[in-house]
């Protein structure tokens, strides 16, 4: 009986687990870095559109605000409603930004005499001022779309008594919070006298 010889081709033998191993995953680190940077930039832009920061440089708003304090400025509220009497606002002034309190609204008649402010013939109750006003101001009607602003430190403030009522378009926003230094942290107080003296 003749013997049969079987030749096995080298490539014909397959391992038990013949499935190909998956290719290694490429790192997503670069993509994640780019996405994080873009997200950070977008958040930064949104925050700066919505709020601002302002450093108190002068004494004109004492005793409410003091030199060296930082406030957060709300830039959104006045897109929804006009400024209210008593609001502390930051506004553009030639060469600098200033911070003062809104005293007279468009259409109001304002007068200063005897150390007091009169709005539409009524004395304005102002618990925030440092001392009685030494200056006087003849009665004048505030034009539409303009606001009469003054510092709380009335005898040491350059304000609408010097440069007139400010245009609404120059208002940057409302001072909302003192956030620095931490011991001085507080929300800006609001006052309810507006309705009593409205024209």
Is residue 165 classed exposed, middle or buried when 0-12, 13-18 and 19+ CB atoms within 10 A define those classes? buried
pLDDT at 144 over 80: yes
Q: How confident is the model at residue 38 (pLDDT cuts 50, 70, 90)?
A: confident
Q: How confident is the model at residue 8 (pLDDT cuts 50, 70, 90)?
A: very low
Ordered domains of the chain (ranges, CATH)? 51-191 (2.10.109.10)
Task: Look up the pTM and report it.
Answer: 0.76
- Residues with catalytic annotation? 60, 100
DSSP secondary structure letters along 73-116: EESSHHHHSPPPTT-EEEEEETTEEEEEEEEE-TT-EEEEETTE
């Amino acid at each position: 009986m003749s013997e049969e010889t079987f030749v096995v081709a080298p490539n014909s033998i397959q391992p038990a687990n013949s499935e190909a191993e998956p290719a290694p995953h490429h790192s997503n680190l670069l993509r994640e870095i780019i996405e994080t940077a873009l997200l950070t930039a977008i958040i930064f832009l949104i925050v700066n559109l919505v709020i601002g920061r302002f450093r108190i440089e002068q004494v004109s708003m004492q005793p409410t605000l003091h030199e060296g304090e930082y406030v957060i400025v709300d830039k959104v509220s006045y897109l929804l409603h006009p400024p209210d009497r008593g609001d502390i606002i930051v506004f553009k002034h030639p060469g600098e930004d200033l911070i003062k309190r809104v005293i007279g609204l468009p259409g109001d008649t304002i007068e200063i005499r005897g150390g007091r402010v009169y709005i539409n013939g009524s004395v304005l109750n102002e618990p925030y001022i440092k001392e009685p006003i030494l200056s006087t101001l003849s009665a004048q009607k505030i034009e539409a779309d303009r606001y009469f602003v003054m510092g709380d430190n009335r005898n040491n403030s350059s304000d609408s008594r010097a440069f007139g009522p400010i245009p609404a378009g120059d208002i940057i926003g409302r001072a909302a919070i003192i956030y620095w230094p931490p011991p001085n942290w507080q929300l800006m107080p609001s006052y309810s006298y507006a309705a009593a003296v409205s024209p």
